[in-house]
Structures are given as C-alpha cells and as structure tokens.
Structure 1
C-alpha cells in the first residue's frame, strides 16, 4: 500500500489492472447470465473489484472503478445499460461507504456486500422507473432484493478468498 502512495504511476497502473479485472469479470458474468432464468438478475462479479478498492485502497479508488465500470457498460451495452449501471453502482457505493463509517458497529465485509448488492438492485430499479416513466417497476423490488442478498453473499465470499491474492500484488 505504501508503494501506491509513493508513486502515482504505480497507483494508476494498479487501478488499470483492477479495472481490467473488472471488465473480465463482467464478461464472464455475461456468459453466465443465460443460466439465470429470472430477468435482470446477475451475479455482480465485477463488484468484487469495487469492494476490494473500497475496503483496501480507499473511497476515491472505489469511485473511480465504479465510474469506469459504467463507462465500460456504455461501450458494451449502450446508454440505458450505462445509466442503470451508474445509478446502481453509485447507490451501492454510497450505502457501503455509509456502513463502513458506522463507528459503533463492526460490520463484516459480508454484511456490507449484501447491503451493497441490494442497494445496487434498488438503484437500477430506480433508474428503470425514471427511464420508463413508470413506478410499477417497483413491484419487481422483492425479487431483486432477494437476488441482491444472495448475490451479495456470493460476491462477499469470493472477495474474502481473492483479497489476499490481490494484496500480494501490492507488495
């Protein structure tokens, strides 16, 4: 970590590496989506990178990755996908940041991941309501909330196993 603080180029290179990992995870996730029979549900593998940045590097780095991921979605899935990705990503990041700064409670990364997953789905649903100019999309929230809980567990567990390997790169 001290290495990243000392050299700006190292920080940019490491964030570039993390962004590339995020794009790869997003592409892997797209190939897995055909196995999930419910529309709008994704594993959220690229969110592992955002959470790693938030927990190990800092909020600015997590924000950078979140914005870059939305730009990647713009290039691969268009404006609507990018708007939904941005809204979901920003709400998720905001909720996880708020939970990290709760001083009295020591919340686990798994719990924060679950809350982030639910918030991400809520943000996407809000954007869908705005784009469709229809509040009826809110009726889909219970399904997406359950999905956010389950996928938050999956990404939280995966992050737990990947974190030591990503930290080795920093040494």
Structure 2
C-alpha cells in the first residue's frame, strides 16, 4: 500500500509538471529578441519532489516530463537541450540540498539549479554548432537564471510550506 501511494503521488507530480511544461511552451518568450529564456515553472515540481521525497524521484520526474513533453510538443533538439539542462540542474540541486540544506535556502538552491540548467543547455548548443562562442551568451543566461531561479525557489518554498501540512506529504519520506 505504501508503494502504491508513492507511485500515485509521483505520477501526479509528473502529470502536473508535464501540463506546466506544455502550457509554458505555448507562451511567448519572456524577452523578445533574447532567445531561450523561459520561466521554467515545471522545474518547481522537481524541486518540490526533491524536498518532499528525494533526489532520485526528482530526477525521475524531470526525466519523464522531458521525454513526454518532447513527444507531445517538442523536437529532438528541444529534448537534448531540456535533458542536458535538467540533468545538470537537478544533480546540482540534489548535491546542494543533501550537503547544505541547513545553511542554504530553497531559493538559493533553485538559483544554482537554474544557472546550471543554462550551462547544460549551452554545452549542448556548443556541441551542436561546434563552436564554443555560444558561451558568449552565458552572461545573459546567468542573469535570467538568477531571476527565474529565484522566482521558482520562492514559488516552491511557498508550495512546500503549505503542502507539508498535508498528512500524505509528511509521510512520503517514510515510504522508502
């Protein structure tokens, strides 16, 4: 029964993240003329999962959301950018959360995740175009990463603080 609750909860989080991902893909770019800058609201679900269930589950949610989102509305290149950014971002957030959760805020962890998400995407871009000059775009993406990462962190913190009052959420870490 415990595993079924956890599986249902994970499925729900993947579904929510996928819906957010698809809706956000339909929205116009945040800054016209500056490609690649998105809010990344679906990442708040992975960060929430990291706080509530753990790192493996956060990675699983990001991976499933990225695969399903690419099948439903993306392309192979969008999949490559999303998976590279998502993996690097989630790995950094997992490491920071496990090592420094007492001294780092959720929004600080989120900002670091957003910055590394952009670095992962630029790595793929530089490999695709075979030119490391794409890293000249890094300062623009770092500023946007700090802003969007802060917003996602604050949003996730708000969600987490309200959802931890729910009995199911409190018991999820014990389901392992």
TM (normalized to structure 1)? 0.89
Q: Determine the C-alpha separation between the residues in 2 that align with 1:139 and 1:60.
A: 33
Residue 75 (structure 2) aligned to one of 54, 74, 78: 78
C-alpha displacement of 1:30:
2.2
Residue 39 (structure 1) aligned to one of 21, 28, 35: 35
Pick which of 125-134 and 94-103 moved more. 94-103
Match of 1:111 in 2: 108
Q: Determine the C-alpha separation between the residues in 2 that align with 1:56 and 1:80.
A: 31
Residue 149 (structure 1) aligned to one of 138, 146, 150: 146
Q: Determine the C-alpha separation between the residues in 2 that align with 1:26 and 1:94.
A: 20
Spell out the pairing of 1:1-171 with structure 2 (5 A cutoff): 7-37=2-32, 38-75=34-71, 76-103=73-100, 106-167=103-164, 168=166, 170=168
C-alpha displacement of 1:44:
0.6
Asked whether the equivalents of residues 29 and 38 of structure 2 are also in contact (C-alpha less than 8 Å), the reply is no
Asked whether the equivalents of residues 46 and 61 of structure 2 are also in contact (C-alpha less than 8 Å), the reply is yes
- Number of residue pairs the alignment of both structures matches: 166
Asked whether the equivalents of residues 48 and 155 of structure 1 are also in contact (C-alpha less than 8 Å), the reply is yes
Asked whether the equivalents of residues 73 and 81 of structure 1 are also in contact (C-alpha less than 8 Å), the reply is no
Say which SS state the counterpart of residue 162 (structure 1) adopts: helix
TM (normalized to structure 2)? 0.86
- Structure 1, gaps ≥5 residues long: 1-5
User: Which protein is richer in helix relative to its size?
Assistant: 1
- Structure 2, gaps ≥5 residues long: 170-176
What do you get for the CA RMSD once the two structures are aligned?
A: 1.9
C-alpha displacement of 1:86:
0.7
